[in-house]
Amino acid sequence: MSLKKYHLGLTQWGFKEWKGTFFTDECKPAGFLKQYATVFNSVEGNTTFYRAPSPETVLKWGEQVSPDFKFCFKFPQSITHYKRLKNVTEEALSFLDLFTPIRNKLGPFHVQLSSQFSYNEIDKLETFIEILPAHLSFAVEVRHPDFFDKGKKERHFINLLKSYGVNRVIFDTRRLHGLKSDEPSVKKAQQRKPKTPVRFDTTGANPLIRYVGGNHIVNNEAYLKEWAIITADWIREGKHPYIFIHSPDTLHAPELARYFHRELSKLIEIPQLPDWPIESKNKQLGLF
């Protein structure tokens, strides 16, 4: 992967419906990650939110990607949601230790807190951050209104993250919730995804954007162009952003990510994204 200035990825690598549109037709599930990683250089590791992988699985994941590829694994919900960061030191460090064999292929670990985790629990968040290893990178996503009050509570939260060099996850669902659509996937996403305000400030060296829009480029153009401008500015400042593109129907996510990358390439010097695996195969067949 020749993309060096930032990391771009999707919410997963194993979407079977990408066969024939992104993956090659004959690609088996065991080969999804390897083909995905020929195009994108990062991925949201949402699978770890539900269950920690085995050491063998972690090794297999690492073997299928290039040295520049970065996994952004999410902390298990048992730590962030069920125990709400209370008395989780041993569990959290054991989780992180799982990924030691692929430590050079790790982006920011994602600490996603529930919408019920309020400012009243910020001391637990600081205690949790204090136990995190300094050689790894982390990003925190909050959803409670307290952390968007534009006042004392939000300033305290921002200063806390800055003091530890922890990134604030920016979850942008403006386009999603602004859509009027009868598409089932859009309606489902509107019910499930939070409607949190968007903040454009950064607290660490790796700004992390999670963008959720509509399924089609025409519904996302203005927002993706806006994020391209912001991302370009961050890169010029010496930051290294992580951009993750969501779509209600995951089938369309690769094209939205490619559009974003093209807009960014108009602002800073970066290479084109590689062809999709299916496109590369068709080009090769065309030679014969």
For 184-226, give the secondary structure using H, E and C.
HHHHHHHHHCCCCCCCCCCCCCCCEEEEECCCCHHHCHHHHHH
- Percent of the chain beyond pLDDT 90? 95
* Domains of the chain, earliest start first: 7-286 (3.20.20.410)
- Mind listing the pLDDT tens digit for each residue in 116-150? 999 999 999 999 999 999 999 999 999 999 999 99
Instruction: Report yes or no on whether pTM surpasses 0.85.
Output: yes
Angstrom distance (rounded) from CA 38 to CA 60: 16
The answer to whether residue 288 scores a pLDDT higher than 60 is: no
Rounded to the nearest 5 degrees, what angle is found at the Cα of 125, between the Cα atoms of 234 and 121?
125
- Mind listing the pLDDT tens digit for each residue in 167-194? 999 999 999 999 999 999 999 999 999 9
- Mind listing the pLDDT tens digit for each residue in 213-265? 999 999 899 999 999 999 999 999 999 999 999 999 999 999 999 999 999 99
For 234-285, give the secondary structure using H, E and C.
HHHCCCCCEEEEECCCHHHHHHHHHHHHHHHHCCCCCCCCCCCHHHHHHHHH
Give the per-residue pLDDT at 284. Answer: 76
Q: How far apart are the first and last CA of the chain?
A: 27
Burial string for 235-274 (b: 16+ CB within 10 Å, else e) reads beeebbbbbbbbbbbbebbbbbbbbbbebbeeeeebeebe
Chain-centre distance for alpha carbon 221: 20
What backbone phi and psi angles, to 5 degrees, belong to 246?
-110, 155
- Check: CB of residue 244 under 8 Å from CB of residue 171: no
- Mind listing the pLDDT tens digit for each residue in 44-88? 999 999 999 999 999 999 999 999 999 999 999 999 999 999 999
Beta bridge partners of 167: 139
